[in-house]
């Protein structure tokens, strides 16, 4: 074990990855709005990195589908057409349903316990005060994370999380629909109930239904007002 004494634990994550993480976060949080041009020198100044590093990060995000490179005219935050949003939700429904099914058969007791904890926090968040959206989103993320991890297929988890990131910009919107947060919470309860009952078919069904409902709400919201105030 010539391994050095675990001191240098975090051996500098590459700068490009740090930048990618920062930008990913900014896009998801709508600090950068869809369609916005990402000027490289700008990003350099903000992050303190050089252009090569920034560009490598952008290539990574491009492959993830978060940004789009317009040949010669720079990189912009990806704008999703309604059609693409539908496609995204369709794939999500399928994969998240599948993951939920796998969870119900493969998850360890520990993972099942964590799922319950996540559900509890989700309830608290949903019944909390005025500006509850961020807390609900955070709780949902933990719930989803636990669910997908417990499916026992890291690749599946990675693919799904990739899709989740791409719709993350929209999730906040969905929650603004009146009653959606409560409805959503009820659906999460259904998922956990089915999982607890060991009914994998039902677990998959409700998970699929959950995504479809979200898609429906999303369509309605978008149809009502495409732009934000």
Which of the residues 158 through 197 are near its own copies (CB under 8 A)?
Answer: 159
Contacts of 88 by beta carbon, 8 Å cutoff, 6+ apart = 80, 163, 166, 167
In the complex with DNA, which residue's Cβ is closer, 74 or 152? 74
Q: Is 36 one of the binding residues for DNA (CB under 7 A)?
A: no
Site string for DNA, 43-62 (x = CB under 7 A): -----xxxxxx-x-------
Q: Count the residues of the shown chain that bind its own copies, applying the rule CB under 8 A.
A: 30
Q: Judged by CB under 8 A, does residue 24 bind its own copies?
A: no
Task: Report, in Å, the least distance between residue 206 CB and its own copies.
Answer: 18
Q: Residue 80 and residue 34: Cα distance in Å, rounded?
A: 8
Nearer to DNA, 70 or 83 (CB): 70
Q: Which residues contact 179 (CB under 8 A, 6 or more apart)?
A: none
Partner from its own copies, DNA, none binding residue 38, C-beta < 5-8 Å depending on class:
DNA
Which of 3, 12, 155, 225 touches DNA by CB under 7 A?
A: 12
* Cβ 128 to its own copies shortest distance, Å: 34
Q: Contacting DNA (CB under 7 A), which of 34, 74, 145, 152?
A: 74
CA atoms of 172 and 115, how far apart (whole Å): 22
CA distance 55 to 181: 38
* Chosen residue from 29, 33, 37, 105 binding DNA by CB under 7 A: 37
Site for its own copies in 79-118 (CB under 8 A): 84, 87-88, 90-91, 94-95, 98
Residues of this chain that bind its own copies (CB under 8 A): 11-14, 16, 52, 55-57, 59-60, 62-64, 69, 71-72, 84, 87-88, 90-91, 94-95, 98, 153-156, 159
């Amino acid at each position: 074990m010539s391994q050095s004494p675990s001191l240098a634990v975090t051996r500098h994550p590459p700068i490009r990855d740090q930048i990618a993480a920062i930008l990913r976060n900014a896009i998801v949080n709508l600090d950068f709005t869809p369609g916005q041009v990402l000027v490289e020198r700008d990003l350099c100044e903000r992050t303190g990195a050089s252009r090569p590093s920034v560009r490598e990060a952008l290539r990574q995000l491009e492959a993830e589908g978060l940004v789009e490179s317009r040949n010669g005219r720079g990189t912009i935050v990806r704008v999703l057409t309604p059609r693409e949003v539908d496609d995204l939700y369709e794939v999500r429904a399928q994969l998240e349903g599948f993951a939920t099914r796998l969870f119900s058969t493969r998850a360890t007791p520990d993972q099942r316990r964590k799922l319950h904890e996540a559900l509890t926090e989700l309830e608290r968040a949903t019944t909390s005060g005025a500006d509850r959206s961020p807390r609900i989103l955070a709780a949902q993320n933990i719930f989803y994370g636990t669910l997908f991890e417990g499916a026992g297929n890291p690749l599946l988890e990675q693919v799904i999380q990739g899709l989740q990131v791409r719709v993350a910009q929209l999730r906040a919107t969905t929650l603004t629909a009146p009653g959606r947060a409560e409805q959503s919470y009820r659906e999460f309860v259904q998922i956990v109930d089915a999982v607890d009952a060991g009914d994998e078919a039902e677990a998959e069904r409700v998970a699929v239904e959950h995504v479809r409902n979200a898609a429906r709400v999303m369509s309605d919201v978008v149809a009502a007002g495409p732009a934000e105030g």
